[in-house]
Chains A and B, each alone.
Chain A
Amino acid sequence: DGGITQSPKYLFRKEGQNVTLSCEQNLNHDAMYWYRQDPGQGLRLIYYSQIVNDFQKGDIAEGYSVSREKKESFPLTVTSAQKNPTAFYLCASSISETGWVDEQFFGPGTRLTVL
Chain B
Amino acid sequence: EDKVVQSPLSLVVHEGDTVTLNCSYEVTNFRSLLWYKQEKKAPTFLFMLTSSGIEKKSGRLSSILDKKELFSILNITATQTGDSAVYLCAVEAVTGGGNKLTFGTGTQLKVEL
Q: Report which A residues bind B (CB closer than 8 A).
A: 31, 33, 35, 40-45, 48-50, 56, 58-59, 90, 96, 99-109
* A-chain residues with CB within 8 Å of residue B101 when the two chains form the complex: 33, 43, 45, 101, 104
List the A residue with the shortest CB-CB distance to B4: A42
Contact count band on B: 20 to 34
Given contacts A45-B102, A103-B48, 20 further A-B contacts (CB under 8 A): A33-B101, A43-B43, A43-B88, A43-B101, A48-B100, A56-B97, A56-B98, A58-B100, A96-B98, A99-B98, A100-B32, A101-B31, A101-B32, A101-B34, A101-B92, A101-B101, A103-B34, A106-B43, A107-B42, A109-B42
Q: A101-B92, A103-B34, A103-B48 are in contact. Are A44 and B103 (CB under 8 A)?
A: yes
Q: Report which B residues bind A (CB closer than 8 A).
A: 4, 6, 31-32, 34, 41-45, 48, 88, 90, 92, 95, 97-106
Question: Nearest-CB distance from B104 to chain A (Å)?
Answer: 5
Q: How many A-B residue pairs have CB under 8 A?
A: 67
